[in-house]
Amino acid sequence: MTPLELIAGALIALGAVFFIAGTVGVLRFPDIFCRLHALTKADGLGLGLVALGVGLLAASPGAVVRIALVWFFVVVASATCSHLIARHALERARRERS
């Protein structure tokens, strides 16, 4: 194993830890907002670390660009989705109160 591979492996492993933490959060947190918090924070970071690790191993610069793009869109999408879910939950709570 080259040092590069070693670093990459470590990054991916760290990413995986964040994923697991996020998952535990989703399962354990009491309400939807806390769960969203756990999910987006942990997964955004986790995916970033994994992408970084994979990017180190990628063969061509083109692939690195593509991986970066994937990371970017996933983060944007997950942020938007979380926003929507939170909005929906808020609205529903408001509706139920009235």
Partner 1 sequence: MIDTMVIFDLLLAVAVVALAVASMTTRDMFAAIVLFVVFGLLSALAWVRLSAPDVALAEAAIGTGVTGALLLRTLHHVQTVERKAAPEPLPVPMGVQIANAAFCGLLTLGLAAAFAGAPRGGPGFDLLVADAMSISGVDHPVTAVLLNFRAYDTLMEVVVLLAAVIAVWQIERGLSDAPAPALGEVWQGFARLTLPAIVVVGTYLLWVGSSAPGGAFQGGAVLAAVGLLLLLSRLYVPRPSHRGAARVAFVLGTGAFAAVALLVTGGGRMPFEYPLEHAKTLILLIEGLVTISIAVTLAALFHGREPVALPERAAGTGGRDDA
Q: How far is the CB of 80 from partner 1 (least distance, A)?
A: 4
Is residue 73 at the binding interface for partner 1, with CB under 8 A as the rule? yes
Which residue in 77, 90, 96, 98 binds partner 1 (CB under 8 A)? 77
> Which part of the chain contacts partner 1 (CB under 8 A), choosing from 26-34, 44-52, 53-61, 83-91?
83-91
> Which part of the chain contacts partner 1 (CB under 8 A), choosing from 4-12, 29-37, 50-58, 74-82?
74-82
Which residue in 87, 89, 94, 97 binds partner 1 (CB under 8 A)? 87
Query: 13 vs 69, which CB is nearer to partner 1?
Result: 69
Residue 17: other Cβ atoms inside 10 A = 14
User: First-to-last CA distance in the chain?
Assistant: 62
Measure the CA–CA gap between 2 and 78, rounded to whole angstroms.
34
Measure the CA–CA gap between 35 and 48, rounded to whole angstroms.
20
Measure the CA–CA gap between 91 and 47, rounded to whole angstroms.
30
Measure the CA–CA gap between 87 and 69, rounded to whole angstroms.
27
Considering only residues 13 through 72, tell me which ones interact with partner 1, judged by CB under 8 A.
Answer: 69
